[in-house]
Amino acid sequence: MRKLDIRLNARITHDLGTLDPACRTPKKMMEVEWPVTCKGSFNDDPAKLCGIAPADFAQIAAQLAKDAWRIP
C-alpha cells in the first residue's frame, strides 16, 4: 500500500479571489506561509489527507494578532 507523508508551505495568491469571489482573502492572510501536512494512504478520502495542524494554526493566529497590535 502506498503512503503519503509530506509537509509543505503554501501561500494564498490574489488570483484565488478572481476564480471565486467567495475566496477573496485579506492581504495579511496572503503574506502567511501556511504549513500544510498531507499524510495517509492513497486509498483514503483525499479531503482527509491534508490540513493545517491546530498548533500551527494557533501559532499563525497569535503572530497575526501580535502584528496587528504593533505600532509602526
- At 38 the pLDDT is 93
Residue 56 burial by Cβ neighbours in a 10 Å radius (0-12, 13-18, 19+): middle
pTM of the predicted structure, to 2 decimals: 0.67
Q: Are 56 and 43 in contact (CB under 8 A)?
A: no
Q: What is the pLDDT of residues 5-64, one digit of tens each?
A: 999 999 888 787 788 888 888 888 888 889 999 999 988 998 889 999 999 989 998 988
Report the C-alpha gap between 62 and 5 in whole angstroms: 27
Q: What is the pLDDT of residues 46-62, one digit of tens each?
A: 888 999 999 998 999 89
Report the C-alpha gap between 53 and 19 in whole angstroms: 26
